[in-house]
Amino acid sequence: MPLAFSPIVVANVSDFEHAVAQIPDSALLDASGLVLRVHGKLWLELKSDFDCAVDAAQTGVADRTGNGLVRALLDQAAACAKRAPGMPIYLLQDGHSSAIASPSHGARHGPRHLVGGPEVTLFHSVSNELAAQIRQDDLRACIETARSRCVIRASSSYHFVLPSGAHASQFLRLAEAFVDIETVDRIAFWVAQDILDRLSTLENDHATLVVDHPSMLILASRVQLLVPVRLDILTFPTYPSDLEARTAAFDVLRRISGPQKVVFVLIGVASTGRLARFIERWSHDDGEAAVSTAILYAVQEIADARSFCRLNIPDFRHFSDAESCQLCQSDSHPVTIQGSNYMVGYAPAMPVALPANMFNEQKPFLERWGGVPNALRVHYQDPNEGMARHHAFYVDVGTLLSVEVFQEELIAKLRTLEPAPDAIAIPEHPTARRLGTLTGQALGLPVVTLTNEMLRGDGAVDEALGRAVCLLVMDDVFITGGRMDAMNRFLREHRDARVPTLEKVHFFTVLAIPASPTKYRQRVAGLTRHHARPADLTHLYKFPLPDWHTPESCPWCREQKVLGQLARSAGELDGAIAERLAVLGDTFNGLSDAAFSLADHATTLPALGANSALLAAGASPLQVLFACASGVQQLRCAEQHPLGADQFPAPSYLAARVFNDHYTERLIWLGLLRALRANELEPALKASLRRYVLNEHADQRPQLLAEFVVAALTGKFDSIEVSQASLRVFESVGITWQSLVENGLVDQSP
């Protein structure tokens, strides 16, 4: 039978009987006991008086406090017993009033007795079993009051795919229970008390609380108020539902774990407990990480995992995966709960194709100039930036400027500008200076370097710039157009002082590789419109590339990170992994010949055959990679049927047929895998690629094996299958299974 909770918080010692009177008769009939919530200030006063009374009884010294509160509570206990005869009554410190106090009152004390049998002592702690029952019923009540919002029920034709991958008839959105701060503090009280109980056994006064999703941060911040020791709070970036998200979660844990550090991980809702067990096992294997994991709400019985409250959801049906789901077998349609925001995908995910015309725009440049050594690079730090900027995909215009035929093509393009310019302006970086020298000599024009000082309006006035009527403003590459915008602003803001005769501006870059056509058009409009002076923008070549400049977005940075972690876990920094890490570490030169990972020196990549939609036969692996990167980026920005894994309500993924039917050349597979984000592959495509790599007789598998391992390690197949076949795949490239376990990439041995 459940416990009944009074709806009011007792703030004065004379109000306990009144609190009992506020419990509805219907609740009293079914209750096994009553719980009265006590204001934090009153709780501490009662605790202090009862401690003094106990000390006096033990020492035989008269209590000089008078025990006024003790006597008053005895009177209230008797009155409450008369109002609810035979009913045990318990007292519970109120979380909200304790949290908002200044300073806040810690959740140090568990429930206490008010009324009970003859063996019960007033205001003594209840047993651990009874405290767990009070916690269970209190937390469940928080959900019951918001059930209509929290529990999302599907109709008979639909069911949910939970972030854990399990299938269920209903889904619990915990954040919907956080309807007011009082409710949040009720829940936070129990979390705080668990943390304090565990800290007392560890004799530590500093800990970190990690929640499993950003929506839980409000709860964590209230727990922080109720724990009177230093408590740092962090969150996993998103629910660790796939390998990529799980890797990010374990990165958080790895960063904060270590000797003498105590970490608590709170999982909001769980149906399988797999994540909790995964973290506990990782903590055990790591050796140095003192990580304690708890589940706030379990929607079914979960073995080997600690949970605060077991929810009983009527008619709840749950299956661990799609294969065992009886709902799927009865033609119920699975609707995905998005792990990033816990939103329901109201429309089914849409697989999209990669049309052949997505390879047209980049083809002329890649076929003509992509084969020039070092013209194409990946994983490169550009020295032309004020501070070296990382590029996942980089076209080195400086290298092309050394090619005579390229110079001729560039100068021929510039001679077509009308009207002809009478001066050239360039930004301040090495490649721009080379470009200015080359074009200035070929066209017989003065070249002005717009230094950072000059762009601020400082420095001497340049005579050539002051006489210019038509100005050619040049740069090597247009990515976002930021440098062009700075130079354009200079010309507009300082016209009278710097360019008084200027009537026309030609903006020109050798290459334009914008990621977004919309943002490109906006930048063009900003440069060429909304001003009385006419201007235009042209390029020698233009095609889209991903605008990836961070370690999180660069595929090779991600590869470097995970291989480095595996190497450290294995304790060996030699062999194939060490060689690959050395290659990845050379961002000064970037990668040209080693953009793809190979199992050993004897392995070669597949060739591109004739009549491919991408490029001519014999194109290098790097040319194919850039063609794929550009094609996928165009698909992300397509006006119809774009690739959008994060779009709501209907995400779109690259269709399995793109690999299985449209572009079956294995080199194109590798290029697409590198160019795609981990969440952009259709689930059927991920499953197909997993089957391919585990099939030891698959065509051309040895040539693709190392790259497929990288794809698996960086989350592009969602999860790593736990099997002997999978173990052999990783060991064949020098990666031990134990290192996968230690880094949270798998949770068990095959």
Q: Are residues 563 and 698 in the same domain?
A: yes
Cβ atoms of 321 and 166 closer than 8 Å: yes
User: Is the bond preceding 621 in cis, omega lying within 30 degrees of 0?
Assistant: no
pLDDT-based confidence at 731, cuts 50/70/90? very high
The answer to whether residues 657 and 684 belong to one domain is: yes
The secondary structure of 463-491, three-state, reads HHHHHCCEEEEEEEEECCCHHHHHHHHHH
Of the candidates 356, 357, 359, 353, the one whose C-alpha atom is nearest the C-alpha of residue 653 is: 353
| Peptide bond connecting 421 to the previous residue in cis, omega within 30 degrees of 0 | no
49 or 284: which leads in pLDDT: 49
CATH code of the domain covering residue 331: 3.40.50
645: pLDDT strictly greater than 90:
no
Mean pLDDT of the region 5-10: 95
Vertex 376 angle, CA 372 and 377, to 5°? 135
Residue 518: C-alpha distances to residues 61, 328, 524, 621 (Å):
83, 41, 10, 30
Would strands 206-211 and 230-235 be described as parallel, antiparallel, or unpaired? parallel
pLDDT of 58 above 70: no
In 3-state terms, the chain is what percent helix, strand and coil (to 5)? 45, 20, 40
Q: Tell me the C-alpha distance between 356 and 309, whole Å.
A: 54
pLDDT at 259 over 70: no
Q: pLDDT for 496-512, tens place per residue? A: 889 999 999 999 999 99
Most confident of the following: 287-301, 559-573, 655-669: 655-669
Write down which residue in 70, 93, 126 finishes a domain: 126
Give the residue with greater pLDDT, 110 vs 575: 110
For the segment 203-218, the average pLDDT, to the nearest whole number, is 88
The tokens 């009554």 sit on which residue?
Answer: 89
Task: Render 316-363 in DSSP notation, one character per residue.
Answer: --EESSSTT-HHHHTTPEEEEBPTTT--B--S--EEE---GGGGTTTH
Question: In the 3-class helix/strand/coil scheme, how is 526-542 assigned residue by residue?
Answer: HHHCCCCCCEEEEEEEE
Domain hosting residue 46, numbered range: 3-126
User: In sequence order, what E strands does 513-582 have?
Assistant: 535-542
142-146: average pLDDT? 89
Averaged over 192-216, what is the pLDDT? 86
Is 200 found in the same domain as 235? yes
- Residue 145 in any domain: the answer is no
Task: Give a yes or no: residue 575 inside a domain.
Answer: yes
CA proximity to 342, closest of 264, 209, 241: 241
| pLDDT of 651 higher than 60 | yes
**Do residues 492 and 572 share a domain?**
no
The average confidence (pLDDT) of the chain is 90
Q: What is the pLDDT of residues 588-619, one digit of tens each?
A: 999 999 999 998 889 999 999 999 999 999 99
For residues 739 and 750, give the distance between their C-alpha atoms in angstroms, rounded to a whole number: 14
Q: Is the pLDDT of residue 334 over 80?
A: yes
pLDDT higher than 60, residue 55: no
pLDDT at 262 over 80: yes
Cα separation of 386 and 370, whole Å?
27
Looking at residue 554, its pLDDT comes to: 96
- Residue 346 in any domain: the answer is no
* Nearest C-alpha neighbor of 127 from the set 138, 140, 116: 116
Residue 25 confidence class, pLDDT cut points 50, 70, 90: confident
Distance CA 11, CA 205 (A): 30
Residue with tokens 């304690």: 292
* pLDDT computed for residue 333 by the predictor: 86
Last residue of a domain, one of 542, 570, 586: 542
Beta strands (DSSP E) in 622-727 are 652-654
Token look-up 């990170």 returns 561
Looking at residue 348, what is its pLDDT? Answer: 66
Q: Is the bond into 419 cis (omega within 30 degrees of 0)?
A: yes
More confident residue, 71 or 18: 18
Confidence of residue 63 (pLDDT cuts 50, 70, 90): very low
DSSP three-state, residue 235: strand
> In this predicted model, what pLDDT tens digit does every residue of 123-135 receive, in sequence order?
899 999 999 999 9
pLDDT at 570 over 80: no
Query: Are 566 and 352 spatial neighbours (Cβ–Cβ below 8 Å)?
Result: no
What's the pLDDT band for 730 if we cut at 50, 70, 90? very high
Distances (CA, A) of 667 to 554, 605, 655, 672: 20, 7, 18, 9
Give a yes or no: residue 231 inside a domain. yes
- Report residue 21's pLDDT band, with 50, 70 and 90 as the boundaries: very high
- SS3 label, residue 94: coil
Indicate whether 133 belongs to any domain.
no
Whether residue 502 sits in one domain with residue 612: no
Give the pLDDT confidence of 657-669 residue by residue, as tens digits.
999 999 999 999 9
H/E segment holding residue 278: helix 274-286
Handedness of CA 267, 269, 274, 277 (dihedral sign): positive
Average pLDDT, integer, range 48-67: 58
The pLDDT > 90 percentage for the chain reads: 62
Whether residues 624 and 519 fall in one domain = no
* pLDDT score of 349 more than 80: no
Longest dimension (CA), the chain: 107
Given 313, 336, 359, which residue is the final one in a domain? Answer: 336
Q: For 373-384, what is the mean pLDDT?
A: 90
Residue 58 lies in a domain: yes
Question: What confidence category does residue 217 fall into, taking pLDDT thresholds of 50, 70 and 90?
Answer: very high
Q: Helices 482-493 and 517-528 sit at what angle, rounded to 10 degrees?
A: 20
Q: Are residues 259 and 387 in the same domain?
A: no
Contact 349, 194 (CB under 8 A): no
Model pLDDT, residue 61: 45
Residue 721 DSSP SS3: coil
Count of structural domains within the chain: 4
**Is 496 found in the same domain as 379?**
yes
Per-residue pLDDT for 285 more than 90? no
CATH number of the domain that residue 467 is part of: 3.40.50.2020
Residue 139 has pLDDT above 90, yes or no: yes
pLDDT confidence of residue 36: 96
Q: For residue 253, what are the contacts with CB-CB under 8 A and spacing of at least 6?
A: 210, 263, 265, 279, 282, 283, 289, 291, 744
Position 634 scores a pLDDT of 98
Q: What percent of the chain has pLDDT over 70?
A: 95
**228: pLDDT strictly greater than 50:** yes
Do 658 and 604 have their domain in common? yes
Is 342 part of a structural domain of the chain?
A: no
CA atoms lying within 13 Å on the CB side of residue 110: 18
Q: Which helix or strand (DSSP H or E) is residue 636 part of?
A: helix 621-636
pTM of full prediction above 0.95: no
267/225 same-domain check: yes
| Distance between CA atoms of residues 700 and 670, nearest Å | 12
The answer to the question of residue 487 being in a domain is: yes
CA proximity to 516, closest of 474, 479, 475, 482: 479
Q: Are residues 579 and 666 in the same domain?
A: yes
645 and 537 inside one domain? no
Those residues with Cβ within 8 angstroms of residue 367's Cβ, 6 or more apart along the chain or in another chain: 615, 616, 619, 623
